[in-house]
Amino acid sequence: MKEFFSILFSFNFKKIFYEPTRNALLQFFRYAFVGGWATVADWGVFALFNEVMKIHYLISAPFAFLMGLTVNYLLSKKFVFSANEEKHSGTGEFIAYAVIGIIGLIFTMAIMFALTEWVNLLPMVSKIIATAVVLLWNFLARKVFLYR
């Protein structure tokens, strides 16, 4: 924890965002930052499909997921985790990344359905809550199963 705060308050952006690290707190900080950009892409596509184009929320969500997954993968690979090239090929790594994401999508869809249909929240509000819940799953699963 001391190392994390020392790095964070150094304001050395190269060290905070780019230099390889095994510090789990720094990785989570980077993951949340990268996830912010992926979330903007995800929510943007969801809003476009669901609210502008009037496509049902359970159909809009997977398209939004694909956009968020792609942005998250590309930015996480560059800024969060350093993949072991001997262990993962580019395609194999993305497939493993996507499988974890698809499990997250299933969680997202279940949460959205429950909150929209049973609690009567707006689909976008349900999406925001689901995103917060699934963030932790995605990080831990990718850290443990993909980027040990």
pLDDT, one tens digit per residue, over 80-134 is 765 444 455 677 777 887 888 899 999 999 999 999 999 999 999 999 999 988 8
pLDDT at residue 23 in the model? 78
Q: What is the pLDDT of residues 41-89, one digit of tens each?
A: 999 999 999 999 999 999 999 999 899 988 988 887 777 765 444 455 6
Query: Is the CB of residue 94 less than 8 Å from the CB of residue 64?
Result: no
Q: What is the pTM of this model?
A: 0.76
Question: In angstroms, rounded to a whole number, what is the distance separating the alpha carbons of residues 47 and 61?
Answer: 9
- Full residue range of the structural domain in which residue 119 is found: 2-146
Residue 5 pLDDT: 80
**What amino acid occupies position 109?**
M
Q: How far apart are CA 63 and CA 86, in angstroms?
A: 32
Q: Which residue has the tokens 């956009």?
A: 67
As for how many domains the chain has, the answer is 1
Contact predicate 123/55, CB 8 Å:
no
